[in-house]
Amino acid sequence: DGGITQSPKYLFRKEGQNVTLSCEQNLNHDAMYWYRQDPGQGLRLIYYSQIVNDFQKGDIAEGYSVSREKKESFPLTVTSAQKNPTAFYLCASSDRVAQPQHFGDGTRLSIL
């Protein structure tokens, strides 16, 4: 079945540690996105990529980094510079940028 796979489902980070969230899609979509969702808030865009080897900052990119070396994969690194990383992280993809997006089932990141 085609879809988007995020891993891990739950992740714990120690202070000062970088962690990487995985996102893989087999939908052959060109565009991929990372959002974070905090309680009572809407989804906020961290980074997006329209094509392999290209990505743009979203509204809250500080403290995060991404890469897009393969069409299927768009990993997100939460760096130690992100001071409030506890959130629900959602990866999405779409056939083209800003077309309806399909979401993975998310990663919950918490601080130890």
Partner 1 sequence: RKEVEQDPGPFNVPEGATVAFNCTYSNSASQSFFWYRQDCRKEPKLLMSVYSSGNEDGRFTAQLNRASQYISLLIRDSKLSDSATYLCVARDNEKLTFGTGTRLTIIP
Q: Which residues contact 68 (CB under 8 A, 6 or more apart)?
A: 32, 49, 51, 52, 53, 54, 55, 74
CB of 23 to partner 1, least distance (A): 12
The interface with partner 1 within residues 23-52 (CB under 8 A) comprises: 35, 40-45, 48, 50
Task: Pick between residue 4 and residue 19 the one whose CB is nearest to partner 1.
Answer: 4
User: Nearest-CA neighbor of 44 among 3, 17, 84, 1?
Assistant: 84
Residues 2, 27: contact at Cβ < 8 Å?
yes
Q: x/- string (CB under 8 A) for partner 1, residues 71-90?
A: -----------------x-x
Task: Pick between residue 18 and residue 95 the one whose CB is nearest to partner 1.
Answer: 95
Please tell me the distance from the alpha carbon of residue 34 to that of residue 44, in angstroms, as a whole number: 8
CB of 97 to partner 1, least distance (A): 4
Give the binding site for partner 1 (CB under 8 A): 35, 40-45, 48, 50, 88, 90, 97-98, 100-106
